[in-house]
């Protein structure tokens, strides 16, 4: 019997196999035939647990960024036997170190990185194309002002601040200006009567600077600003230009990084 079997395990095996064949080692597995209808018992896991370390690597580790994935893959040194799989639908990159690249593999030793959307990206995606009353839209823009980029976005923030400061506004008309912006004409209502009138210029589009994925780089998105006037009130919404393309491109950047630095063969798909 192997020296790795401790006394307790040896005594258990001795009692279990009394009057039967002694345990037999076949490669890295151990077997015995015991009296009860000569039932076959696989002792491999029991014996392995008595050792300082498993007989082979297995299990799955989940990593939080591409740098950690690359470091872990490098430590395993399994470029000759493993593949890395990149799935654009689930936004996961999975390294399988004991894959079937060179003969058969157990495929149960893995490292996984999943690209998770940032809270700010989730907020803008969740409200995409959602029509909001004037005050709700103004609050949304003010709450997310760190993501606004460029002059048009600054103008939009000014519009939101103005609308927040004026508690009761009746919008009278709107017209498109030559520079592409829209001019909204409004009247302030004071004690239920029309007061001072004013104008707001809203941009046609505005830019966002977002980190699409956690621990990732910033990405520029363009949004088209929309509005609808009805009975003196106005609703605003925005439409992001192909946000799915931005998400796909950001994920492809991770895949390209792994393919260029890991030394593993990178395949598109799921393991």
Same structural domain, 131 and 193? yes
Task: Tell me, letter by letter, the H, E, C secondary structure of 9-61.
Answer: HHHHHHHHCCCCCCCEEECCEEEEECCHHHCEEECHHHHHCCCCCCCCCCEEE
Q: Which domain holds residue 258?
A: 59-114+250-268
Residue 228 forms part of a structural domain? yes
Same structural domain, 104 and 153? no
Residue 203 forms part of a structural domain? yes
133, 134, 135, 141: CA torsion to nearest 10: 100
90, 95, 96, 101: CA torsion to nearest 10: 110
Residue 53 forms part of a structural domain? no
Residue 245 forms part of a structural domain? no
Q: How many helices (H) and strands (E) does the chain have?
A: 7, 16
Residue 144 forms part of a structural domain? yes
Angstrom distance (rounded) from CA 46 to CA 201: 75
Same structural domain, 38 and 148? no
Same structural domain, 126 and 108? no
Same structural domain, 173 and 83? no
Which residues have a Cβ under 8 Å from the Cβ of 50 and sit 6 or more positions away?
4, 5, 6, 9
Same structural domain, 161 and 180? yes
Same structural domain, 178 and 259? no
Same structural domain, 106 and 175? no
Total number of domains constituting the chain: 3
Angstrom distance (rounded) from CA 216 to CA 199: 40
Residue 127 forms part of a structural domain? yes
Residue 54 forms part of a structural domain? no
Give strand pairing partners of 183: 175, 201
Same structural domain, 255 and 236? no
Same structural domain, 230 and 173? yes
- Residue 117 in contact with residue 213, Cβ under 8 Å? yes
Same structural domain, 202 and 139? yes
Mean pLDDT by runs of 10 across the 271 residues of the chain is: 58 59 75 68 81 86 96 96 96 95 86 97 97 90 92 84 69 63 68 57 91 91 89 86 94 96 97 93
Predicted TM-score of the model (pTM) = 0.74
- Residue 100 in contact with residue 107, Cβ under 8 Å? yes
Neighbours of 153 (CB within 10 A): 20
Same structural domain, 83 and 138? no
pLDDT in tens, 119-171: 999 999 999 999 998 889 989 999 999 999 998 888 888 888 777 666 567 66
Residue 208 forms part of a structural domain? yes
pLDDT at 35: 64
């Amino acid at each position: 019997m192997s020296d790795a079997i401790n006394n307790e395990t040896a005594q258990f095996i001795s009692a279990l196999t009394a009057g039967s064949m002694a345990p037999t080692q076949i490669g890295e597995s151990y077997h015995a035939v015991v009296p009860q209808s000569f039932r076959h018992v696989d002792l491999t896991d029991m014996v392995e647990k008595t050792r300082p370390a498993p007989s082979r690597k297995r299990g799955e580790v989940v990593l939080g960024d591409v740098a950690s994935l690359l470091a872990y893959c490098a430590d395993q040194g399994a470029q000759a036997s493993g593949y890395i799989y990149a799935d654009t639908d689930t936004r996961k990159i999975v390294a399988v170190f004991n894959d079937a690249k060179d003969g058969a593999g157990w495929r149960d030793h893995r490292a996984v990185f999943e690209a998770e959307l940032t809270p700010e990206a989730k907020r803008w995606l969740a409200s995409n194309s959602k029509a909001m009353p004037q005050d709700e839209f103004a609050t949304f823009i003010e709450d997310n002002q760190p993501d606004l980029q460029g002059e048009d976005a600054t103008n939009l923030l000014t519009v939101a601040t103005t609308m927040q400061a004026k508690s009761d506004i009746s919008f009278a008309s709107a017209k498109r200006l030559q520079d592409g912006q829209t001019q909204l004409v409004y009247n302030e209502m004071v004690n239920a009567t029309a007061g001072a009138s004013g104008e707001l210029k809203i941009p046609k589009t505005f830019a966002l600077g977002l980190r699409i994925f956690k621990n990732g780089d910033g990405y520029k998105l363009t949004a088209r600003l929309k509005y609808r006037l009805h009975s003196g009130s106005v609703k605003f919404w925005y439409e992001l230009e192909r946000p799915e393309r931005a998400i796909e491109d950001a994920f492809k950047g991770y895949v390209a990084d792994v393919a260029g630095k890991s030394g593993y063969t990178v395949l598109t798909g799921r393991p």
